Amino acid sequence: MIKRSFFALSQPRLHYDLLEPDPKEPESIPVPASLTLLIHEEIDSGKQALIQKGDPVQQGEKIKLYEDSTVYAISPVSGTIKLFDTYSDDFGNTATYVIITHDPAKPTEPSSFTPEETLEFADDFLRTLPGDLPFETLARKDLKIDTIVVTCSDTDILSTSNQFIACKYAEEIKKGALLLKKITGVTKLCLTLPENLDLESEFTNFLVFKTSPDYPSALPAMVMKDHLNMVPVPGKTPEEQGVCFIRPEALVSLSRVYESRKPVFEKIITVMDKTGSQRRVKAVIGTPLSKILNTFNIHVNEMDRIIIGGPMTGFATFTPHHPVVGDMDMVIVQDRDIVPELSDYPCINCGKCVRICPANVPVNILVRYLEADQYEEAADKYDLESCIECGLCAYVCTARIPLYQYIRLGKHELMSLRA
């Protein structure tokens, strides 16, 4: 668990950034000599592995660790498997890095790639598209998803990746949406847009929800409440309530796959350096973050921090070699001098967290139970599962208690206990 708050950016804000007028094309990062694919399954030495160090791989090839694996990656390049490594997230869940040496002389995508407009095909080959289309969720028989919401409003502050994609690729978003409707059978298509971004006329075939500039208006739970007139049910995901939120980039990728009949791998990310200056980049999935940071002379020193996602809801990675993945919208590098120190201060009961919480969670009491690892009680009596994970409580906490991190860990532990 990360016992520090992220909210020490030089100018923390509670308003979403608006896309600048006439945005420039993202800067392209060349395909690196070595790529890292993240597979959400740990290495099990008791099983017969399907892939080994030294095996050749082809661009577009599906890579699974074991015959019975339900998760996979698609190789963005042709080359050779160089090595395997273990990845641990901030909850201690382990996964596997598969590192591939890129050989540009080897043939590119397999000629057999023929995309079919079925959910089975999409779930089988398109789960790792840039933008991270949640086909695994959409294919679940126990869920009855009847509404798709495309998040053209960025969900965290500082990032403008989704707005940029909505502005530049509206046609592909519409084509992708038609394909997704056909593949999934979901007919209600909605789309969020910042109220100050004049793009509504581009998306007439969607039910458009204009989100306010005030954070956290674009978070899924707030969109459900404010625009779909639904009360988010504690402990249930939006998908369990019939609503699936997807990035606009996922629809662009889907449209490109079916149009070109080739797999696609290029992802757009907003990168923010230690001075707070931002740029948009295009990089192939699997590109190590270190490669992007080196391209722009962003040096990561000991104790600096790399945050994946925005400052309110992102998480820290412990290695600059972590790769670009399909759901990565933003990367922030924080200088160690502005990373806040560990907070050992007790709660002083100032009540700021309770006043700011959009879900009316009694955060000051809840955190006492989470600190004592009493997760069931935190959920039963103090609304742990009502939290919509906006991070505002940690942002305002006088004692600088990493409340958001405690809450995320608490929910994770609760899920493990119940499982």
CA distances from 318 to 300, 307, 343 (A): 11, 9, 20
In the complex with ligand SF4, the residue whose CB is nearer, 73 or 397, is: 397
* 400: phi then psi, degrees, rounded to nearest 5: 55, 40
Residue 124: count of CB within 10 angstroms of its CB:
14
Nearest CA to 26 out of 196, 200, 252, 179 is that of 252
Smallest gap from residue 395 Cβ to ligand SF4 (A)? 8
- For 202-231, the DSSP string reads GGTTSEEEEEPSBTTTTSHHHHHHHHS---
Pairing of strands 56-57, 34-39: unpaired
In the complex with ligand SF4, the residue whose CB is nearer, 219 or 325, is: 219
Smallest gap from residue 386 Cβ to ligand SF4 (A)? 7
Q: Contact positions toward ligand SF4, by CB under 6 A?
A: 347-353, 356-359, 361, 363-364, 367, 387-393, 396-399, 401, 403-404, 407
Smallest gap from residue 157 Cβ to ligand SF4 (A)? 14
In the complex with ligand SF4, the residue whose CB is nearer, 324 or 359, is: 359
For the sheet with 94-102, list strands across it. Answer: 34-39, 94-102, 79-88, 56-57
In the complex with ligand SF4, the residue whose CB is nearer, 82 or 412, is: 412
Smallest gap from residue 156 Cβ to ligand SF4 (A)? 13
Smallest gap from residue 307 Cβ to ligand SF4 (A)? 16
In the complex with ligand SF4, the residue whose CB is nearer, 128 or 153, is: 153
Smallest gap from residue 350 Cβ to ligand SF4 (A)? 4
Task: Give the DSSP H or E segment for 253.
Answer: helix 248-260
Smallest gap from residue 388 Cβ to ligand SF4 (A)? 4
Q: Which residues, in sequence order, are CB contacts of 416 under 8 Å at separation 6+?
A: none
Smallest gap from residue 391 Cβ to ligand SF4 (A)? 5
In the complex with ligand SF4, the residue whose CB is nearer, 221 or 298, is: 221
Residues in the chain: 419
Q: Which residues, in sequence order, are CB contacts of 245 under 8 Å at separation 6+?
A: 148, 149, 151, 220, 223, 238
In the complex with ligand SF4, the residue whose CB is nearer, 65 or 370, is: 370
* 85: phi then psi, degrees, rounded to nearest 5: -145, 165
- Beta-ladder partners of 283: 267
CA distances from 240 to 33, 155, 183, 233, 237 (A): 41, 20, 19, 9, 5
In the complex with ligand SF4, the residue whose CB is nearer, 98 or 392, is: 392
The alpha carbon of 149 is separated from its chain's Cα centroid by a whole number of angstroms, namely 15
Pairing of strands 147-151, 188-194: parallel
Q: How far apart are CA 126 and CA 115, in angstroms?
A: 9
In the complex with ligand SF4, the residue whose CB is nearer, 53 or 355, is: 355
Smallest gap from residue 382 Cβ to ligand SF4 (A)? 10
